[in-house]
Chain A
Amino acid sequence: MSRIPCTRLEGAAAFAVALLLLAFLPGSRAFAENTSGSSGDDLDGGTFYAPLSKKVQEDLGDIHPASAASIISYFHVTASVAGQYTSNAALYHSKDNADFLIAPVLQGEFAAPLNKYFRVDVAARLEDFTYSSNQSLGFWGFSGNANLEYRYKPSWPRIYVGVEPYYYFSYDTGDRLTSAIGPAAGIDQSLSINRGKTLLFAGYHFGEYFSTPNIDTRQSHTVTLSLTQQLQTNLYAQIYWQLQYSIYSVYGRDETRDVVGVNFIHQFNPQTFFSVFANYVDNASNNSLSKYTTVNAGVSLTLQY
C-alpha cells in the first residue's frame, strides 16, 4: 500500500488552519451580532452581578461575568493511579507472563471556549509504568494533546483536529524508548437516553504518527463505542468496545486491535472517582512479533481539580 505522509500531513494542516480561521472569524462575529441588539445590557459584566451563596453555587456553579473570570479557572490538574493485574506483561502472543502493573499519571489541562462553536483543549501528561516482576519492561515519559474542537450546537457531534506528541524512556536502558508527534482528527457524539440514566457514546479517531525510531511510524483509525449506565446516584457502569486498525510503515505491519472492557465507577464527589475495571485485548497482526492477547483487571483512583 503506497503512502504519502507529507501530502496527508499538509492536508491535515490545511484543514486545521481552515478550522482556526472559522473559529476566529464567523464565530466571533456571530456572538457580536447576537448581543448587539440587547438593550440596557452590559456584556462585559463589569462588577455588577450578584454573588451567589455557597449553597446555590454548589448547585449551579458560580455564575459571574466572563470579564471577572480568572484564566486559572480554565486550568485543571488530574492525578490518577491505576494498579492492574495483566496476564501477559510482555504483550507477546498469549504468553503466560502475568504481572502487576502500577501506572500513575499526572495531567495538566487547559480547556476553554473560544466562542459558541469552538473550544481549545490542551493537555500534558507525565506517566509512569512500573511492573512488579518484569521490571525491565517499565518505562516513563510524557504525552499530550492539543485539540481545536468544533460543535455546531451543544447536542451535535464534536469534531476536532490537533496534534498528539509523546516521548517515553525505558527504565532498563535509560534511553529513549520511543517518541512521536502525530496530527490527529476525529468526530464523536454522546447521546443521553432513558431520562439521562444512560449515555451512549460513539467516536472515530484518526492519527498519523511520525515516530523516532521510525519503527512506530504509523497511521491509525480507531472506532470506540460505549454505554454508560447510572446504577445509583454516584455509581456508574460502563461497557465499551474499541477497534483500532494501524498501518505501520516499517516491516509492512498491519494490525487490528480489539479492546472490550467494563468499568464500575464510584464518584465520591466531583473531584474524586474510584473505579474497578477489567478488559480483554486482542492485537492481531500480519507480523508474528506483534500478535498478542491479554486479560487485565484492576482498580484506579482519580483526583481532579
Chain B
Amino acid sequence: MPLPTSFKSFALGFAIYTLVGTGAYGVTPFTSATITRIENHVSLGSHAGGNEHPASLHDVIEADTYLYTEDKSRAELEFPDHSIVRIGQNTVFSFDAASRTLSLEKGAMLFYVPPGSGGGHIKTPSLTAAITGTLGKVSLNTIAILSGSLMTPWGIIHAGEAVTVISGDVRIYKFDQSQAMAGRLVAWGGPLPEVPEAGGKTTAMYGLPDTHIWDILGISQVNQRYHSPFIKPTGPPTAPKPPAAPGTTPYP
C-alpha cells in the first residue's frame, strides 16, 4: 500500500531536520558573537547566574549569555561565520555554541545565516527548526522565511512562506509579500547581504538619486526655446527649422 503523501513529506522533512540538527557538517560553533549595533537599553546576563549589566557596542558575548532588550531598544549581533541576528524590543535572546541554536525566549528577531556556513537551529517556546542559508523573521510562535528555506518536522518552509504553531496546531502558509520587507529590524542596521533592497522604499538608504527632474526640466526648457519665434535653431544644414510665428522676427 503506498504511503500517504503527508507521511512521506513528514518523513523527508524529519530526516533533513535531523541530519542538519545533529551537526552533520563540519562547522564553526556559535561560541561568541559581537554586538555590531545597539539602540537604547540593552542588557546582558548569564544563564549561569544573573550578573545582568548594560551591553555596549562591540561587546563580545559568550554562548552562555542571554541578551535582553527593553522598550524601543534593539541590538544586532554578528557571529564569526558572519551570521547576523537583529533583536527587537522587549526580547530575550540567547544562543548555543555546539548546536548553533539561536533561541528566542521572548519578543522578536530577524536572522541571517549565510549559505554554506553550516546552518543551525532556530528555537522558540513553540517551534524548533533547522536552517542552512536562510533569512527569516521570528516571533514566539511564527517563523517567516524571506530567503532560503527552513526545515521543520512538518515539511520544508520556502521563501515567501511562514509556519505558525498555536497550541500544538501547525499551519504553513504563504504570507503577505507586501509585509516581507516591513518592520524596523529589516531596515534597521542597513541592508542584509542576501537582500540588498531589504527595507524597500520605506528606508531612505534604498532611495536612488532622483534625476527625473532633469529629464523633465531639460526637455521642457529646451523645448520652449526651440519653439521660441525669437530663437533660430542651429544644427545640421539639412535639419528642418521650425516656422517662425506670424508677425515675429526670427532671431538673427
- Chain A interface residues (CB < 8 Å from chain B): 31, 34-35, 37-46, 48-50, 52, 55-69, 73-74, 76, 82, 89-92, 103, 112-113, 116, 127, 129, 137, 139, 143, 153-155, 166, 168, 170, 177-178, 189-192, 195-199, 201, 203, 213, 215-216, 224, 226, 228, 230, 233-234, 236, 238, 240, 242, 244, 250-253, 257, 259, 261, 263, 265-267, 270-271, 273, 275, 281, 283, 286-290, 292, 304
Across the interface, do A170 and B224 meet the contact criterion of CB distance under 8 Å? yes
Interface string of B30-49 (1 = CB under 8 A from A): 00000010010000000000
Most central of A62, A189, A195, A199 by chain B CB within 10 Å: A195
A177's partner among B12, B141, B215, B220 (CB-CB below 8 A) is B220
Across the interface, do B166 and A48 meet the contact criterion of CB distance under 8 Å? yes
Interface string of B177-200 (1 = CB under 8 A from A): 111111111111111111111000
Known: A37-B156, A39-B6, A289-B226. A65 touches B176 (CB 8 A): yes
Q: How far is the CB of B133 from chain A (nearest CB, A)?
A: 11
Across the interface, do B223 and A190 meet the contact criterion of CB distance under 8 Å? no
B205's partner among A89, A116, A230, A283 (CB-CB below 8 A) is A230
A235 closest partner in B (C-beta): B204
Interface string of B115-154 (1 = CB under 8 A from A): 0000000000000000000000101011010110000001
Q: How many residues of B contact A (CB 8 A)?
A: 100
Across the interface, do B191 and A190 meet the contact criterion of CB distance under 8 Å? yes
19 contacts between A and B (CB under 8 A): A41-B154, A50-B142, A56-B107, A60-B144, A60-B185, A61-B180, A62-B176, A63-B142, A65-B176, A67-B174, A155-B195, A170-B220, A199-B205, A203-B208, A251-B226, A251-B236, A286-B235, A289-B231, A304-B202
Binds A, one of B19-27, B94-102, B157-165: B157-165
A-B contact count (CB 8 A): 303
B108's partner among A60, A143, A203, A289 (CB-CB below 8 A) is A60
Q: How far is the CB of B70 from chain A (nearest CB, A)?
A: 11
Known: A39-B13, A64-B179, A216-B223. A267 touches B203 (CB 8 A): yes
Given contacts A40-B170, A63-B139, A199-B206, could you give 4 more A-B pairs where the C-beta distance is less than 8 Å? A37-B5, A52-B142, A178-B219, A242-B209
- Compute how far the CA of A212 lies from the CA of B134 in the bound complex, rounded to whole angstroms: 50
B71 closest partner in A (C-beta): A55
Contact residues in A for B164 (Cβ distance below 8 Å)? 48-50
Q: How far is the CB of B125 from chain A (nearest CB, A)?
A: 12
Contact residues in A for B141 (Cβ distance below 8 Å)? 50
A78 closest partner in B (C-beta): B201
- Chain B interface residues (CB < 8 Å from chain A): 5-10, 12-13, 36, 39, 71, 74, 78, 88-90, 107-108, 110, 137, 139, 141-142, 144, 146-147, 154-162, 164, 166, 169-197, 201-209, 211-227, 231, 233-236, 239-240, 242
Across the interface, do B174 and A177 meet the contact criterion of CB distance under 8 Å? no
- Compute how far the CA of A39 lies from the CA of B156 in the bound complex, rounded to whole angstroms: 9
Across the interface, do B194 and A196 meet the contact criterion of CB distance under 8 Å? no
B214's partner among A153, A199, A257 (CB-CB below 8 A) is A257
Q: How far is the CB of A131 from chain B (nearest CB, A)?
A: 10
Across the interface, do A116 and B224 meet the contact criterion of CB distance under 8 Å? no
